[in-house]
Amino acid sequence: MYKTMYKEVEVDVDLSDFDTDDLIEELESRGAGVTDYGDGKDILNAIYEKRRLGKDYQQDLDQLIWLGLGKIL
């Protein structure tokens, strides 16, 4: 006879314990890809160009929000 048991455990984790590539991979798996946009001007230019050409720029806008606020939608 088998029984399935679930147990909730609280663990403190220091994000510095994780490799940057692992963190980036996790964010990308959640649909929040990370790209180095420096001070934000590169991403603003990308948004401007895509908007000017009528292309979808939502992902770039999400990246700008993440860059500026550190929050992921």
Residue 11 has pLDDT above 70, yes or no: yes
| Residue 3, amino acid | K
pLDDT tens, position by position, 13-61: 887 888 888 877 787 787 665 555 556 788 888 899 999 999 999 988 8
pLDDT given at position 38: 59
One DSSP character per residue, 6-57 reads ---------GGGS-HHHHHHHHHHTT------TTTHHHHHHHHHHHHTT---
Domain boundaries, the chain: 32-73
